[in-house]
Structure 1
Amino acid sequence: MEYEPAEYQKLQIRTYAPRSIRETAEGKYWRRFKSPIIAKQFGAVSHIDFCQQYPFNLAVTASTRVILYNGLAPAVIGRTISRFKDIAYSGCFRSDGRLVVAGGQDGIVQVFDANSRSVLRQFKAHKRPTRVARFGADKLHILSGSDDVTARWWDLTSGSQVLRLDGHRDYVRAAAASPTSPDMWATGGYDHCVKLWDIRTGNTAVLGLDHGAPVEDVAFFPSGSLAVTAGGNYLCVWDLLGGGRLIKRLENFQKTVTCVRLSPLAGPDSAAAPRMLAGSLDGHVKIFELDSFRVTHATKYPAPVLSMGLSPDCRLLAVGLADGTLSVRRHARPRTAAPVAQERQPTQPKLTAANYRYFIRGQNSRAAATDFRVRKQRQARLQPYDKMLRQFRYRDALDSALSTRQPEVVASLLEELAARGGLGAALGGRDAEGLRPVLRHLVKYMAEPRYTRLLSNVGHRLLDTYAEVVGVAPAVDRLLGALRDRLAEELGVLAELTQLAGALEPLLAASLAAGGLGEGG
């Protein structure tokens, strides 16, 4: 009876974990916000707002003025609104970009014409500084929040107060409109509470949320069913349709989180949308993805971050700092060419046996999901060390693997030789010239943690085999000395790390014990 030889299986090269964390597509996208335009303001940049209409101008509130910058050339100052008696707050565009609203230290809410900078309306019911002012979606109303613990709903056309919203017990510092319902608003205050209001039902909040720290900012998700609040050194994500259920608490900052924004559904690739951006007094702006709320990217600024804005087309990222610095970064993406009218294509002749394309038809067609695929048997292309392994030439196979200078290939081959019981045959019977590549590999990679266990066994086998001829070849002796020095250096490092771990252990134990006593007290 004759037996057919089994098909040779190629050597499977072992894969190892990467040495360092490689930059992801997400990180690459946010790093393309380059060439920061730095503009020094007269005071801390407390608020940044982008116009929703092209060219997406931005309003920057700092000290006693609101400065309007050109969205196409962020370094160019369009207009400066300085009609404030004291510090200005929360300069915001109307959705059409024609009007700007801002609060002030004197409590007055003012509405300006964005082109002429003239004052169109003044609302004077607030008794203390007004820190937040926003236009309604209907363009005819304004919501303002003040340190007098009230929020007020104003009619722009008549210049009168329509509604006073009472419910906060401390300063009102944040407000946001629902993107899906023009009558739903959220306000946040230093009483740790976030109130959800329905303007149609009067001055009673329809929902209250306890953030647990003074609320600095609040924002709705694009769906309108979720909201995020910023305050303390954390963010809270809430399910509004679920009765205000806390979904996630994000403690990714060392200091107070001052601003939070949701990136609009735009951008050159999927990495831009949707994302959540948050800035903090620790100088970091961090980007969160919205599935598991994991931080995907972070940028460090030289001063505490007070405000932040992202243009609707995700082209400009503006950050305001406490030292008066305005940083505007532009996304380095290629411009898209204008669509070109398609020319009329000539009709193709009917395919018949008289045409050469008839005989090659279907070669470039893709198989449908329901088609049955018959895969072509391809002959495996063997590497030189595979061919030698197939012929049981173990010594030559090891030399061929060493010649590749790829440590993962050598490690995979040594493991295969050990499994076959051919490691002794591969290492034995070598002269000085044959030993040098093996020793050079041991010197170079013995201290690598991923190869140490395997190569140490190979080194022991090598020394046992050639112990009697040590001192015969000077070149081999030099390599053995280099291997000894490399191992001594590695052992010295391990000894120092052991001493350091021993010194830190009592400190860590004392710290844990102190923490336990503090919680118990």
Structure 2
Amino acid sequence: MEYEPAEYQKLQVRQYAPRELRETAEGKYWRQFKAPIVAKQFGGVTHIDFCQQYPYNLAVTASTRVIIYNGLAPAVVGRTISRFKDIAYSGCFRSDGRLVCAGGQDGVVQVFDANSRSVLRQFKLHKRATRVARFGADKLHVLSGSDDVTVRWWDVSAGSQVLRLDGHRDYVRAAAASPASSDTWLTGSYDHTVKLWDVRAGGSAMLSLEHGAPVEDVAFFPSGSIAVTAGGNCLCVWDLLGGGGGRLLKRLDNFQKTVTCVRLSPLAGPDSAAAPRMLAGSLDGHVKIFELDSFLVTHASKYPAPVMSLGLSPDCRLLAVGMADGNLSVRKHARPKRAGVGAGPGAPEPRQRRAPRLTAANYRYFIRGQNSRAAASDYRVVRQRQVRLQAYDRMLRQFRYRESLDAALATRQPEVVASVLEELAARGGLAGALGGRDAEGLLPLLRHLVKYIAEPRYTRLLAGMAHRLLDTYSGVVGTAPAVDKALGVLRDRLAEELGVQDQLSGLAGALEPLLAASLAGALF
């Protein structure tokens, strides 16, 4: 009776758990912002605002001035507005980019021409520092919030106050306009509350929310029905329409120090394939990016100083971060998003690339159709592909165990060596693979042991192999200087690892009563 030889099965290389988390597509996107352009200011950068019109210039408020930088060349200072008697606050563009408003330490709210820097309007009814100034969506009004605990609504064309909103009991430090209604505003105060106002109705606030800490910043989600507040070391996400009086959706405690600023990315995530992202900066020097489904942190960046302000351009091309030490960091994305996707008015139209005509002069001509899918009525002929074996697989197939182990060592891949050793042990060929070697054949084995025997994932397997080698070649130790030197290095490596293990055991013993005491204190 004749038997057909069985087909050889390739050796399956053992897969170990990765040593570290692999880079996600989200992290890769945010890491593609280039090395920052750092511009030193005269004081801490308290506010950053991007113009909504191309080329998306940015207004940076620091010390006694508002500096306008070119959106196309972030290192270039376009204009500097310095007509303030004292510290300036909250320099912001109007939606068309023609005007800039800002508050000041003296309480005066000023409106400037963005090009000539001339003062067009001054509003002087605030009694203390005005930390917040924002243009309304109608371009004709300005909302301001002050340390005198009032919020005021100004008419720019008439140069007068239209409305005064009272309700906060401490400094007003944040304000945001609803994207769903130009008359709806959200303000945050150091009295730990956030209030929703309708400037058409005036009077009292429509809604009051308790943040639980002094509020540093507020922002609306694109829908206008959800808002986020920043203060203390947390972010609070609110459903403004739910629960009859606002409902807390999520509390995010991802920071060690006060969260100073929060922004919503204007475009739909990396490569416009996901929901918008939320960015927040803190005095702990971190800027963290949250996805908006489960509000998990998808990326974090560490800055050398406390973060006081941040901004993201409407095309997501520039990320600007202001720090307490006076440094402004502007990072430009290596691959800006496609023009026309979330781009504002005035942005250049994208170039339409024409597909090259396929001819015999083009390589793609000869591979055309390879990615085409067969129709339901087509007959498919499956091509038998020859299995390509690695050198160690070919040796195993021929039962040449010593050569197979040598071939695995030549790959310098510890996973492959571990898989070959396990296969040899299962076949009962480990003794033949390790025995009968001269000094030149022993050195690769000893070098591999020195390099990987201390790694936990390989220790058990390689320790067994080391014992077998010592048992096999103990009688010839001292005959080859190179082998003796390698054995000495292996001995030192093991002694070093044992010393580290002893230190870790001592440290674990010292920490155990401390942890037990802290746990007992938490329980009682």
- How far apart are 1:256 and its partner, in Å? 0.9
Q: 2:373 aligns with which of 343, 364, 367?
A: 367
1:478-518 per-position Cα deviation (integer Å, ceiling 9, x unaligned): 4333322221221122112222322333344444445x27x
Give the counterpart letter for 2:351 in structure 1: P
Matched position secondary structure for 1:408: helix
Q: What corresponds to 2:278 in structure 1?
A: 276
Give the counterpart letter for 2:209 in structure 1: L
Give the counterpart letter for 2:10 in structure 1: K
Report the TM-score when normalising by structure 2.
0.86
Does the CA contact (< 8 Å) of 1:195 and 1:208 recur in 2? yes
- How far apart are 1:270 and its partner, in Å? 4.7
Does the CA contact (< 8 Å) of 1:25 and 1:271 recur in 2? no
Matched position secondary structure for 1:249: strand
Name the stretch that deviates more: 385-394 or 255-264.
385-394
Q: What corresponds to 2:318 in structure 1?
A: 316
Counterpart-to-counterpart distance in 2, 1:171 and 1:370? 71
% identity of equivalent residues: 80
Q: What corresponds to 2:410 in structure 1?
A: 403
- Residues 492 and 97 of structure 1: CA distance in aligned 2, closer, same or farther (over 3 Å): same
Give the counterpart letter for 1:339 in structure 2: R
Matched position secondary structure for 2:71: coil
Counterpart-to-counterpart distance in 2, 1:447 and 1:492? 12
Does the CA contact (< 8 Å) of 2:316 and 2:336 recur in 1? no
Name the stretch that deviates more: 408-417 or 135-144.
135-144
- How far apart are 1:413 and its partner, in Å? 0.7
- How far apart are 1:179 and its partner, in Å? 1.9
Give the counterpart letter for 2:74 in structure 1: P
Give the counterpart letter for 2:385 in structure 1: R
State how many pairs are aligned: 505
Matched position secondary structure for 1:443: helix
Counterpart-to-counterpart distance in 2, 1:154 and 1:433? 88
Does the CA contact (< 8 Å) of 2:50 and 2:93 recur in 1? yes
Counterpart-to-counterpart distance in 2, 1:438 and 1:52? 65
- Residues 323 and 383 of structure 1: CA distance in aligned 2, closer, same or farther (over 3 Å): closer
Q: What corresponds to 1:259 in structure 2?
A: 261
Does the CA contact (< 8 Å) of 2:316 and 2:337 recur in 1? no
- How far apart are 1:195 and its partner, in Å? 1.6
Q: What corresponds to 1:73 in structure 2?
A: 73
Q: What corresponds to 1:354 in structure 2?
A: none
1:27-58 per-position Cα deviation (integer Å, ceiling 9, x unaligned): 44434434544433333222111111112222
- How far apart are 1:217 and its partner, in Å? 0.2
Does the CA contact (< 8 Å) of 1:272 and 1:314 recur in 2? no
Does the CA contact (< 8 Å) of 1:281 and 1:304 recur in 2? yes
1:428 and 2:430 matched = no
What pairs up with 1:439-450 in 2 under 5 angstroms?
439-450=446-457
Does the CA contact (< 8 Å) of 2:234 and 2:252 recur in 1? yes
- How far apart are 1:477 and its partner, in Å? 3.8
Name the stretch that deviates more: 9-18 or 465-474.
465-474
Counterpart-to-counterpart distance in 2, 1:284 and 1:163? 38
Matched position secondary structure for 2:89: strand
- How far apart are 1:401 and its partner, in Å? 1.8
What pairs up with 1:98-113 in 2 under 5 angstroms?
98-113=98-113
Report the TM-score when normalising by structure 1.
0.86
- How far apart are 1:407 and its partner, in Å? 1.7
Give the counterpart letter for 2:146 in structure 1: S
Give the counterpart letter for 1:366 in structure 2: S
Does the CA contact (< 8 Å) of 2:269 and 2:277 recur in 1? no
Matched position secondary structure for 1:505: helix
1:381 and 2:393 matched = no
Matched position secondary structure for 1:318: strand
Counterpart-to-counterpart distance in 2, 1:73 and 1:386? 57
1:13 and 2:13 matched = yes
1:282-328 per-position Cα deviation (integer Å, ceiling 9, x unaligned): 22222233333333333333332222222212222222222333333
1:255-287 per-position Cα deviation (integer Å, ceiling 9, x unaligned): 111111112217983599732222222222222
Counterpart-to-counterpart distance in 1, 2:456 and 2:146? 61
1:199 and 2:205 matched = no
Counterpart-to-counterpart distance in 2, 1:362 and 1:321? 54
Counterpart-to-counterpart distance in 1, 2:217 and 2:377? 55
1:501 and 2:488 matched = no
1:438 and 2:450 matched = no
Counterpart-to-counterpart distance in 1, 2:355 and 2:505? 74
Counterpart-to-counterpart distance in 2, 1:344 and 1:448? 53
Matched position secondary structure for 2:419: helix
Alpha-carbon RMSD across the aligned residues, in angstroms, is: 3.2
Give the counterpart letter for 1:300 in structure 2: K
Give the counterpart letter for 1:399 in structure 2: D
Matched position secondary structure for 1:269: helix
Q: What corresponds to 1:300 in structure 2?
A: 302
Does the CA contact (< 8 Å) of 1:26 and 1:271 recur in 2? no
- How far apart are 1:172 and its partner, in Å? 1.4
